DNA sequence: GTTGGATTACTACAGACGTAGTTACCGCGG
DNA sequence: CCGCGGTAACTACGTCTGTAGTAATCCAAC
């Protein structure tokens, strides 16, 4: 079995838009995607959300129309799974090699590394507070419409 | 255009096997893949090598049969492109976020990070020696057969 | 009431993918 | 000389992907 999970890139883009709005209708997600420069047909977004629902990646509240969607898992969790898979497939599981390449590629500076270390050191001292590293979290709710 | 480049995962696996043997025939590559647990039909490997050649990812010496293939680019270079793409698509270009997640996922330890820093510090002092970080390089030539 | 915009459920589809079968050669061992 | 294993060139194909069109509803403003 190919793990019913495993999102495609198009699906991931939609899911990311959904995380951004936190919860929303097809129209909401579509608008968020548009804001990101992805102009898709209304039905395309619906198809994608449908596939995501089929993969249990998003939950749908069909109580009343229009249906409201929201991600089934936290962003961190999904991205981390993706990352793990990537490290395995491309870098043979060698995470350090990956980081070394990030640096060589200048995607990451020495300063960034230090900042990360500092971050970790703090986390190790204080009791693990939010549990999740503060990644690219989104702005505010920003619903609108309806 | 979808950049004639952009290897699929199956193609990447083949390319990685090719790097491992450095240069070789379809049979050589197939054997290396088998060693890695990927048993593919001879023709499948040929198809994949053909597609890689079409994408200019591998060079073919058709002087005499059986043809000899070899990667067109260094491993580091290709993996790095992949990585860059991944960081952009999944982590919105935020490399530090990616690393933070590697740590949180325990794919990377604090010690690994320090080792990397040390590595960089050295590289900054000494004149950049080999230019490429010593990543998952392969064993020895190991041809055999033929 | 009628109609038009919003919405959902299906269907469509071309192109990419992963794998492999078929056909045609070709040189070597018998 | 002949057949066979190794090889190259094509063809095949079921799936998956990304995108979207169509049909059927529903509700609110005329």
The answer to whether B99 contacts A91, with C-beta atoms less than 8 Å apart, is no
Confidence category of residue A140, pLDDT binned at 50, 70, 90: very low
Give the largest CA-CA distance in chain B: 52
Query: What's CA B133's distance to the chain center, in Å?
Result: 13
Structure tokens at A115: 């900042």
Interchain pair B100, A119: CB under 8 A? yes
At A58, give phi and psi (nearest 5°).
-135, 155
Q: CA torsion, points B72, B75, B76, B79, in degrees to nearest 10?
A: 100
What ipTM was reported for this prediction? 0.87
Please report residues of B whose CB lies closer than 8 A to that of A133. Answer: 97, 100-101, 103-104
Higher pLDDT, B115 or A136: B115
- Distance, in Å, from the CA atom of A98 to the CA atom of B113, rounded to the nearest integer, reads 12
- Res A124: pLDDT: 82
Q: How would DSSP label each residue in A52-97?
A: HHHTTSEEEE-SSSSPEEEESS-HHHHHHHHHHHHHHHHHTT-HHH
- Residue B141: the pLDDT is 39
For A9-56, how does the pLDDT look when each residue is reduced to its tens digit (9 = 90+)? 999 999 999 999 999 999 999 999 999 999 999 999 999 999 999 999
User: Whole-angstrom Cα distance, residue B138 to residue B126?
Assistant: 25
Map tokens 């449908």 to a residue: A50
Please state, in angstroms and rounded to a whole number, the distance separating the CA atoms of residues B141 and B146: 14
pTM: 0.86
Question: How far is A122 from B14, CA to CA, in rounded Å?
Answer: 43
B96 CB within 8 Å of a chain A CB: yes
List phi, psi (to 5°) of A24.
Answer: 180, 175
Q: How confident is the model at residue A136 (pLDDT cuts 50, 70, 90)?
A: low
Is B117 in CB contact (< 8 Å) with chain A?
yes
Q: Tell the burial category of B65 from Cβ atoms under 10 Å away from its Cβ (0-12, 13-18, 19+).
A: exposed
Mind listing the pLDDT tens digit for each residue in A76-120?
999 999 999 999 999 999 999 999 999 999 999 999 999 999 999
Q: How far is the CA of B30 from the C1' of D19 (A)?
A: 37
Q: Contacts of residue B122 in chain A, CB cutoff 8 Å?
A: none
B60 CA: nearest nucleotide by C1' = D8
* CA dihedral sign of residues A100, A105, B89, A74: positive
Tens-digit pLDDT string for chain B (146 aa) = 445 689 999 999 999 999 999 999 999 999 999 999 999 999 999 999 999 999 999 999 999 899 999 999 999 999 999 999 999 999 999 999 999 999 999 999 999 999 999 999 888 888 765 555 555 554 433 332 33
Helix (H, G, I), strand (E, B), or coil: what is residue A102?
helix
Whether the CB-CB separation of B14 and B49 falls below 8 Å is answered with yes
- B97 burial level (CB within 10 Å; 0-12, 13-18, 19+): buried
* pLDDT at residue A125 in the model: 87
Say whether A95 and B102 touch across the interface (CB within 8 A): yes
CA atoms A50, A56, A61, A63: torsion sign? positive
Among A9, A78, A82, A99, the strongest candidate for a mutation testing the B interface, having the largest count of B CBs within 10 A, is A99
CB A66 within 8 A of CB A24: no
Q: Which residues does residue B71 pair with via DSSP β-bridges, in sequence order? A: B58
Are B135 and A97 within 8 A, CB to CB?
yes
Residues with CB under 7 A from strand D: A 2, 6, 8-11, 40-41, 43-44, 46-48; B 25-27, 42-43, 46-47, 50, 62, 65-67, 146
Q: Are B116 and A94 in contact (CB under 8 A)?
A: no
Chain A residues inside the 8 Å CB shell of B79: 90-91, 101
CB pairs under 8 A between A and B: 132
Name every chain B residue with its beta carbon within 8 A of the beta carbon of A105: 80, 83-84
Rg (CA), chain A: 18
* Bridge partner list, A59: A70
d(CA A113, CA A115): 5
A141 vs A47: which has the higher pLDDT: A47
């Amino acid at each position: 079995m190919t793990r019913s999970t495993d999102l495609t890139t198009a699906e991931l883009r939609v899911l990311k838009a959904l995380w951004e709005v936190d919860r929303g209708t097809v129209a909401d997600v579509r608008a968020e995607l548009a804001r990101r420069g992805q102009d898709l047909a209304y039905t395309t977004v619906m198809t994608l959300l449908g596939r995501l629902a089929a993969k249990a990646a998003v939950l749908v509240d069909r109580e009343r129309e229009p249906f409201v969607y929201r991600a089934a898992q936290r962003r961190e969790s999904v991205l981390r799974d993706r990352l793990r898979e990537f490290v395995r497939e491309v870098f043979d599981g060698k995470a350090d090699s990956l980081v070394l390449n990030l640096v060589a590629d200048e995607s990451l500076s020495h300063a960034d590394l230090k900042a990360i270390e500092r971050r970790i050191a703090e986390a190790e001292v204080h009791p693990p507070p939010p549990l999740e590293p503060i990644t690219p979290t989104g702005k505010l709710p920003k619903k609108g419409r309806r």
